Amino acid sequence: MTDISLDTLTASAARPRRDIGLKKRYAAERRFRLYGVLAIAIGLAFLAVMLTSIVSKGYTAFWQTTVTLPINFDEKIIDPSNKRATDPNVLITANYPKLAEQALIEKLGIDPNNKADVRKLKGFLSDSSRVQLRAIVAADPSVIGTTRNVDILAAANLDSAFKGQIDLDVPESRRKVSDQQVEWMNKLKAEGVMAEHFNTGLFSYGASSRPETSGVGVALIGSFYMMVIVLLLALPIGVAASIYLEEFAKKSRFTDLIEVNINNLAAVPSIVFGLLGLAVFINFLGLPRSASFVGGLVLTLMTLPTIIIATRAALAAVPPSIRSAALGLGASKMQMVFQHILPLAAPGILTGTIIGLARALGETAPLLLIGMVAFVADYPKTPFDPATALPVQIYMWANEAERAFVERMSGAIIILLIFLMAMNIVAIVLRRRFERRW
Amino acid sequence: MSFLLVFAIVLAIGLAAFVVGRQRARAQDDGTVKPHSRAHYHGWWAFLTGVVPAVLFLAAWDIGASAYLNSHIHSSLPADVADGTVAHEDLSAGLVKSLASGLRKLDSQTLATLPSTFTELQPMLAAKGVALAPDTQDYMIPIATETNSVSDRLGMISAVVSIGLALIGVGFGLKGISPRARARNNVEKVMLWSLLGASTLAILTTIGIVLSMLFQTIAFFEKVPLTNFFFGAVWDPRFAAAGAGASEGQFGLIPLLAGTLYIAFVALLVAVPIGLMSAVYMSEYAAPKVRAVVKPALELLAGIPTIVYGIFALVTLGPFLRDISAALTGGTPFIQAQSILTAGLVMGVMLIPVVSSLSDDIITAVPRAMRDGSLGLGATRSETIKRVILPAALPGIVGAILLTASRAIGETMIVVLAAGVAANLTLNPFEAMTTITVKIVNQLTGDLEFNTPQTLVAFALGITLFALTLVMNIVALYIVRKYREQYE
């Protein structure tokens, strides 16, 4: 009897298992998982490629080639007819580039009478030598007649060549520096006269048609003004609105309307805020175009929903027991909110504000419409003066054809990204340090 | 007296009232009666009664005064100017205004003996650093001096009245201080009203957006017929030469709308699969350690300003794709440097974190029990995701995609730099097309003359864009909210 049962047992064991396609299903499982990894890899790869491409194009912008020349402040060139005591214009209109050119001729050992060689020197030094040398003479007129070492900026094309960005194998006629200039450049380099220095000008100059003297100085000040205005307006108004909606408002049609509005404003395209700014602030209220004040107002309206949403989340995260305790001890509702809830929600509010500010700092589109695309060379003294913003400056350089401007543009992007990263890191640190889990 | 000075004086009066009020309330507390409010509330109440009415009056008067001055200038312009075009009249009024503010820089002695012709006046102003437009007319000088004296008189009245209001208010507030006065309740009532006021700003902004664009759009449609805009297939808004008036142009929305939707479609083709898959992987498969590193890295993509994406497309990706296509055909590139593909790809990458963070929220909202049930029945993880979680999360994901699409449609800087400016109608993704946002920027940057259809069309485009995204957002938010309620 037991034999039979054993037989049937072995028979059933020997029967192949019903095929439920496990192999296929596991393969599908692995494939699916691979898709996920691929998706993430594509995203991260793009991020890496983008950042590398910008950094590799832009890091050279932080260095600038200069030529240290012993400038002889020759009286015969600056003031040939010796009238500077009576006519102050002489010192302003003098031919300063000629001083730099002469020093260079001497340094290179060119025959000053060889017109062809002298002509090839054109475009070696930046025209900004005029401004630079004039400032030296204006500060101290006694310098005339003496010789002094001055760092003169190299022209943008020579700067690119010095950094090795110009392919010297290309035929001479098709590149912007001549063979002769390259030879001189190498000579000066060997002597240690021509060298790269940290480019402080990138941070201090305003707009200029010459790449070597253009910088983000005006844009930094404009962006700073705007951030201050956004902070001063959006933070108090945003916090006040959130307190009302979260702590005081009873659910009604009106508060529903406000909520729908805030959620929608958070998703309205930023360029629409630019149209609002143009129509209301500039056309209707008559505020000046290109002013960082108007930019600040537009960015405030844009940032408010972000701050309100973050603040409401922070307020809602404070547990009701705190509220009950405060009210139970006899605090009024207003006292409860301002003396207990708000301090506890402060880290969350600050984090949201910083993230909102970071977004406002990188915003470009609305600023284009209110006339921030402007050639501004002078520092804005007040928020009502014409200014640009950092991202707008980047946009303007993107429209320039010269390669030296592309370098500056990438440098400016690096500056912008560093600012944004710093703000985000501060936000993350704040959140980590002060966040309380209830 | 200037607006700011009066404001500062009113504020100073208020602060003094605060100190005095607090002091007085403290002095009254002799321990016999239990005070209703603490001393500083009495101080604040005195501050508010002084400052609030005065500042409200000051602001209202200032707005009224500038409107009055405006109409005053317009009414004193000579008849031939006032009968001219609106633009000409506005221009003349503007000249008078800048002349008036220039005259403020002169000292009283010069003002008393003001020359009657502009040619004589100009060097005097130039010496003070005031540069004026050369087409300022002689007849404007008396109007400008008259305007200045009127505005001085108005300013004087506003200063006297608002300072008076402040003093009366402070007096009222201080007089009311007594131990049983309900100062705290009064102060809190004012605070509550200001909180309410702050929260209505959201509504005001929306109204401002709609109204500002609506008026300009109506002005646009007075000059250009509706059919030209909504059904026109040609976009060719010839810019009129300055002052030559509006010339005919073609303002067809269709090529712009087609470009906008095409680029958004390409972007979604990139963003939705990648974003969704990475959200799924992150929430269902990734080890906590991997998640802690990869998630913030992907969020970095969201923190990079769109101008940076645009420049990457313009400087790196566009030329790269063009060169690749040139190498493939061995000569002529079939992908243009600015193309739908370039703009769509880059915008798609920009939207990956948007899709992934929205769908992450939605996927984690699917109840644990559904997941466990499916796994318990023997389904593999991917089967659970594909057959249980995603179908359950589908409405939410559709909402997320709609929100993402509205972001794609409203995106500006990437398309300005990477999509091109030619308004083509094409199906070839390797060619350039342009979008609504690009044209808004194009029409409104640079020197512009208002009231021409060429600039007003930007507002018509803007309101179209606003309406489009508004509808998508409302539908998306409705779907997301409705779906969330299902599992709560």
- pLDDT tens for each residue of B434-450: 999 999 998 887 666 66
Our measurement of the distance from residue B238's CA atom to the centroid of its chain's CA atoms, rounded to an integer in Å, reads: 28
Q: What is the pLDDT of residues A204-220, one digit of tens each?
A: 888 888 888 888 999 99
Residues of A in contact with B305 (CB under 8 A): 361-364, 391, 416, 420
B149 has pLDDT over 90: no
B73 has pLDDT over 60: yes
A33 has pLDDT over 90: yes
Name the nearest CA neighbour of B386 among A37, A41, A29: A29
Across residues B12-22, what is the average pLDDT? 92
Q: Say yes or no for a CB contact (<8 Å) between A272 and B409.
A: no
Amino acid A231 reads L
Pairwise CA distance, residues A219 & A380, whole Å: 9
Q: How close does chain B come to A140, measured CA to CA in Å?
A: 27
Residues of A in contact with B204 (CB under 8 A): none
Across residues A12-38, what is the average pLDDT? 83
Nearest 5°: phi and psi at A65?
-80, 130
**Beta partners for residue A69, in sequence order:** A150
The answer, for B483 touching chain A at a CB cutoff of 8 Å, is no
Gyration radius of chain B over CA positions: 32
Chain A residue nearest residue B67, CA to CA = A285
Residues of A in contact with B199 (CB under 8 A): 240-242, 244-245, 249, 258
- Backbone dihedral region for residue B64 (phi beyond 0: left; psi -120 to 50: alpha; all else: beta): alpha
A236 has pLDDT over 80: yes
Could you tell me the pLDDT band of residue A438, with boundaries at 50, 70 and 90? low
Provide the residue ranges of all domains of chain A, joining segments of one domain with +: 62-199, 217-434
Provide the residue ranges of all domains of chain B, joining segments of one domain with +: 3-181, 250-486
Q: Say yes or no for a CB contact (<8 Å) between B380 and A283.
A: no
Amino acid B199 reads S
Helix, strand, coil % (nearest 5) of chain A?
70, 5, 25
Triad A350, A356, A359: Cα angle to 5°: 145
Q: Residue B262 CB: number of other CB atoms within 10 A?
A: 20
Chain B interface mutation, best of A31, A40, A237, highest count of B Cβ atoms under 10 Å:
A40
Q: Which residues 253-282 in chain B show a CB within 8 A of chain A? A: 273-278, 280-282
Q: Which residues 351-390 in chain B show a CB within 8 A of chain A? A: 352-353, 380-383, 385-386
Chain B interface mutation, best of A272, A384, A403, highest count of B Cβ atoms under 10 Å:
A272
Could you tell me the pLDDT band of residue B245, with boundaries at 50, 70 and 90? very low
Q: Which residue has the tokens 């404070």?
A: A318
Name the nearest CA neighbour of A178 among A198, A194, A195, A161: A161
**B213, B463 Cβ separation under 8 angstroms:** yes
Q: Say yes or no for a CB contact (<8 Å) between A420 and B305.
A: yes
CATH, domain range B250-486: 1.10.3720.10
Q: Say yes or no for a CB contact (<8 Å) between A258 and B470.
A: no
In the prediction, which pLDDT does B246 show?
Answer: 46
Chain B residue nearest residue A298, CA to CA = B205
Chain B interface mutation, best of A30, A259, A268, A355, highest count of B Cβ atoms under 10 Å:
A268
Across residues B231-253, what is the average pLDDT? 67
Q: How far is CA B88 from CA A168, B219, B245, B314, B335, in A?
A: 58, 18, 12, 42, 49
Higher local confidence (pLDDT), B434 or B232: B434
Chain A interface mutation, best of B38, B45, B195, B387, highest count of A Cβ atoms under 10 Å:
B195
B78 has pLDDT over 80: no
Query: Is the alpha carbon torsion for A368, A369, A373, A377 positive or negative?
Result: negative
Gyration radius of chain A over CA positions: 33
Q: Say yes or no for a CB contact (<8 Å) between A258 and B315.
A: no
The answer, for B203 touching chain A at a CB cutoff of 8 Å, is yes
Across residues B170-199, what is the average pLDDT? 90
In the prediction, which pLDDT does B86 show?
Answer: 60
Triad B377, B381, B383: Cα angle to 5°: 75
Q: How close does chain B come to A233, measured CA to CA in Å?
A: 11
**C-alpha dihedral, B158 to B161 to B166 to B170, nearest 10°:** 180
Query: Which among B236-245, B359-368, B380-389 has the top mean pLDDT?
Result: B380-389
Higher local confidence (pLDDT), A295 or B85: A295
Q: pTM, whole model, 2 decimals? A: 0.86
Any idea which of A9-23, A146-160, A183-197, B188-202 has the lowest mean pLDDT?
A9-23
Q: Say yes or no for a CB contact (<8 Å) between B385 and A32.
A: yes
Q: Parallel, antiparallel, or unpaired: how do β-strands A147-153 and A194-198 relate? A: unpaired
**A263, B477 Cβ separation under 8 angstroms:** yes
Q: Which residue has the tokens 């004086």?
A: B9
Q: At what angle do helices B183-223 and A292-317 cross, to 10 degrees?
A: 130
Q: What is the pLDDT of residues B365-414, one digit of tens each?
A: 888 899 999 999 999 999 999 999 998 888 889 888 999 999 999 999 99
In the prediction, which pLDDT does A363 show?
Answer: 93
B193 has pLDDT over 60: yes
Any idea which of A4-18, A323-337, B267-281, B389-403 has the lowest mean pLDDT?
A4-18
Could you tell me the pLDDT band of residue A327, with boundaries at 50, 70 and 90? very high
In the prediction, which pLDDT does B126 show?
Answer: 72
Amino acid B277 reads M
**A378, A221 Cβ separation under 8 angstroms:** no
Higher local confidence (pLDDT), A261 or B133: A261
Q: Say yes or no for a CB contact (<8 Å) between B301 and A39.
A: no
| Both tokens assigned to B91 | 């221009």
Q: Residue A400 CB: number of other CB atoms within 10 A?
A: 15
Pairwise CA distance, residues B78 & B81, whole Å: 6
In the prediction, which pLDDT does B488 show?
Answer: 54
| Both tokens assigned to B153 | 């008189």
Residues of chain B with pLDDT > 70, as a percent, come to 92
Q: Say yes or no for a CB contact (<8 Å) between B306 and A364.
A: yes
Higher local confidence (pLDDT), A85 or B382: B382
In the prediction, which pLDDT does A197 show?
Answer: 85
| Both tokens assigned to A322 | 């705190």
| Both tokens assigned to B261 | 């939707």
A112 has pLDDT over 90: no
A5 has pLDDT over 70: no
Our measurement of the distance from residue B264's CA atom to the centroid of its chain's CA atoms, rounded to an integer in Å, reads: 23
Largest CA distance in chain B: 101
Residues near A52 by beta carbon (within 8 Å), at least 6 away in sequence: none
Q: Say yes or no for a CB contact (<8 Å) between B473 and A267.
A: yes
Q: How close does chain B come to A355, measured CA to CA in Å?
A: 9
In the prediction, which pLDDT does B189 show?
Answer: 93
Pairwise CA distance, residues A296 & B154, whole Å: 30
Q: How close does chain A come to B334, measured CA to CA in Å?
A: 23
For residue A36, give the nearest of B280, B300, B380 by CB distance: B280
Triad A12, A13, A19: Cα angle to 5°: 90
For residue A69, give the 3-state DSSP assignment: strand
Q: Which residues 209-248 in chain B show a CB within 8 A of chain A? A: 209, 212-213, 215-216
Q: How close does chain A come to B306, measured CA to CA in Å?
A: 8
**Taking the CA of residue A40 as centre, how many other CA atoms within 13 Å lie in the half-sphere pointing to its CB?**
23
Chain B interface mutation, best of A275, A299, A388, highest count of B Cβ atoms under 10 Å:
A275
Q: Say yes or no for a CB contact (<8 Å) between A248 and B412.
A: no
Does domain A217-434 fall under CATH 3.30.1490.390? My reply is: no
DSSP per residue, A324-354: HHHHHTT--HHHHIIIIIHHHHHHHHHHHHH
Q: Say yes or no for a CB contact (<8 Å) between A268 and B209.
A: yes
In the prediction, which pLDDT does B484 show?
Answer: 65
Nearest 5°: phi and psi at B238?
-60, 130
Name the nearest CA neighbour of A39 among B275, B285, B359: B275
Q: Parallel, antiparallel, or unpaired: how do β-strands B250-251 and B235-236 relate? A: antiparallel
**Taking the CA of residue B415 as centre, how many other CA atoms within 13 Å lie in the half-sphere pointing to its CB?**
34
Q: Say yes or no for a CB contact (<8 Å) between A362 and B307.
A: yes
Residues of chain B with pLDDT > 90, as a percent, come to 34
Across residues B297-301, what is the average pLDDT? 85
A221 has pLDDT over 90: yes
Q: Which residues 88-127 in chain B show a CB within 8 A of chain A? A: none
In the prediction, which pLDDT does B241 show?
Answer: 46
B308 has pLDDT over 90: yes
| Both tokens assigned to A314 | 């922070």
* DSSP single-letter state for residue B360: H
Could you tell me the pLDDT band of residue A343, with boundaries at 50, 70 and 90? very high
Q: Residue B155 CB: number of other CB atoms within 10 A?
A: 18
Across residues B185-189, what is the average pLDDT? 92
For residue A272, give the nearest of B199, B203, B466 by CB distance: B466
Pairwise CA distance, residues A154 & A193, whole Å: 11
Pairwise CA distance, residues A109 & A121, whole Å: 12
Q: How close does chain A come to B454, measured CA to CA in Å?
A: 14
Q: What is the pLDDT of residues A346-389, one digit of tens each?
A: 988 999 999 999 999 999 999 999 888 888 888 888 888 889 99
B129 has pLDDT over 70: no
Q: Say yes or no for a CB contact (<8 Å) between B212 and A280.
A: yes
Q: What is the pLDDT of residues B259-288, one digit of tens each?
A: 999 999 999 999 999 999 999 999 889 898
Chain B interface mutation, best of A20, A42, A50, highest count of B Cβ atoms under 10 Å:
A50
In the prediction, which pLDDT does B116 show?
Answer: 73
Mean pLDDT for chain A overall:
86
Q: How close does chain B come to A237, measured CA to CA in Å?
A: 5
For residue A398, give the nearest of B381, B409, B417 by CB distance: B417
Q: How close does chain A come to B194, measured CA to CA in Å?
A: 8
The answer, for B441 touching chain A at a CB cutoff of 8 Å, is yes
